Amino acid sequence: MKTTINRVSEFVNKEVTIGVWLANKRSSGKIAFLQLRDGTGFIQGVVVKADVTEETFAAAKSITQESALYVTGTVVEDSRSPFGYEMQVSEIEIIHESKDYPITPKEHGTEFLMDHRHLWLRSKKQHAIMKIRNQIIQATYHFFEKEDFVKIDPPILTGSAAEGTTELFHTKYFDEEAYLSQSGQLYMEAAAMALGKVFSFGPTFRAEKSKTRRHLIEFWMIEPEMAFTTHEESLEIQEKYVQFIVESVLGNCQLELNTLGRSVEKLEQIKAPFPRITYDHAIELLKEKGFSDVEWGEDFGAPHETAIAESFDKPVFITHYPKEIKAFYMKPDPDRDDVVQCADLIAPEGYGEIIGGSARIDDMALMEQRYKEHNLSGEAYKWYLELRQYGSVPHAGFGLGLERTVAWICGVDHVRETIPFPRLLNRLYP
Ligand code: 4AD
Ligand code: MG
């Protein structure tokens, strides 16, 4: 019977054939232990010299790392393996022999691994991260479906900037100028006026000259936008969504979390409601923590976010930032014109901002004023202003960065390992 590693529990004490690659092996004169992988999982194959033909044992001893094989054997339960099963191999058919696989079981430097990302993805750790990323993607669709959101796909080629003009990737669009999308938000606002509650999920591009462990040039963002919704109601959806994805990873990816050595106890604490502190309060907190030179009106950097997050064991919302350091579309606080109704959600354990969101300006006159202040006049933004002309309503939305969320949930240091082929400041290969 042909099957895959993730399905072996259905075949205990039965003989199966699985197409695999050899991840690693160990052997002595009488027995060989093969670490096999097929994409769905990893399993150990045990080849006992006395139980197989001479050819099969010779093959087991000589196969090279990453050779492709059909392995036939009996599935047995094994409580010593984290996976719970192993295979007593009876036959090995070599499909393709791999020569001099560059990623050996020894330690390699990061640059070397990044140059071999197309192969590095096969490793157990990278496999676990990709499985958790996939789980978060599945949970995202599930959550927004359950909450009556409609998936909407905003364009990637755009004529207008959503998040400021300094980080845009520029390209020609026949005779016009175009940019790669930094955020689908402006289009999602139009979609919310057509469909009520909407979300997008797609790639976004930022020509950021930042070389940090949190910045990618190309990253994936989930952007919900909701009509008839206040800032506070948006925060409630955000914490519910984050709790849902963490629970879904805990419920479906125990093996992968275990492979990554991720502390499950820390993730189990992620239950709504999340704490909320204002930007003003955050400034005080930072001063208490020894950031004596931090001043009201400055944006927070990674060390600030980390210091604030340390005071909480759940993600924390920092709300009401100064309007000067936030995007043009954010709605002012009704009681104070110098701060806006926005929030950044800061992940625990130093993983930084995973969500940015706000209530949007719905008043035409105020939006026109912001256009002037930000030099946004022109045809490219005309349609966005028109949304305030025909049945404008209070609305709010947010963007969750997929890779930073994966990094946090997996407990991996750098976002470069959370996307299959990272685009970084100095890297477009592979
Ligand atoms: O805070 P940002 O810039 O917000 C927006 O783009 C809004 N238009 C979203 C909205 O309200 N619809 O980005 C949102 C999130 C950040 O919190 C972060 O998680 C992620 O996107 N992000 C990045 N992730 C990886 N690399 C980068 N260079 C990122 N820039 C932002
Ligand atoms: Mg932000």
Please give the span between the terminal C-alpha atoms of the chain, in angstroms, as a whole number: 37
Residue nearest (by alpha carbon) to ligand 1 atom 20 = 401
Identify whether 104 is part of a domain: no
Identify whether 395 is part of a domain: yes
| 141 and 29 assigned to the same domain | no
Identify whether 428 is part of a domain: no
Identify whether 398 is part of a domain: yes
Cross-strand partners of 179: 158, 170
b/e 333-357 (16+ beta carbons within 10 angstroms → b):
beeeeebbbbbbbbbbebbbbbbbb
For residue 430, say if its preceding peptide bond is cis, omega within 30 degrees of 0. yes
| 65 and 171 assigned to the same domain | no
pLDDT band at 55 (very low <50, low <70, confident <90, very high): very high
Say which DSSP state 330 is in. Answer: B
Q: What's the CA-to-centroid distance between 401 and ligand 1, angstroms?
A: 6
Is the CB of 219 inside a 6 Å radius of any atom of ligand 1? yes
- Contact, 220 vs 233, CB < 8 A? no
Which residue range(s) make up the domain with 81? 5-96
Cross-strand partners of 189: none
Residue nearest (by alpha carbon) to ligand 1 atom 22 = 401
- Cα 258 to chain centroid distance, Å, stands at 18
Say what the pTM is. 0.98
Q: State the chain's mean pLDDT as an integer.
A: 97
Q: What's the CA-to-centroid distance between 264 and ligand 2, angstroms?
A: 27
| 331 and 200 assigned to the same domain | yes
b/e 255-264 (16+ beta carbons within 10 angstroms → b):
bbbebbebee
Of 96, 125, 141, the residue that ends a domain is: 96
For residue 273, say if its preceding peptide bond is cis, omega within 30 degrees of 0. yes
pLDDT band at 164 (very low <50, low <70, confident <90, very high): confident
Is the CB of 223 inside a 6 Å radius of any atom of ligand 1? yes
Gyration radius of the chain over CA positions: 26
Q: Report yes or no for ipTM above 0.90.
A: yes
Ligand nearest to the CA of 221: 1
Which position has the higher pLDDT, 160 or 221? 221
- Cα 217 to chain centroid distance, Å, stands at 14
pLDDT band at 156 (very low <50, low <70, confident <90, very high): very high
pLDDT band at 377 (very low <50, low <70, confident <90, very high): confident
Number of domains in the chain: 2
Task: Give CA–CA dist 255/181, Å, rounded.
Answer: 36
Of 33, 63, 96, the residue that ends a domain is: 96
pLDDT tens string 84-95: 999 999 999 999
Identify whether 105 is part of a domain: no
Residue nearest (by alpha carbon) to ligand 1 atom 27 = 215
Identify whether 426 is part of a domain: no
Cross-strand partners of 43: 36
Is the CB of 163 inside a 6 Å radius of any atom of ligand 1? yes
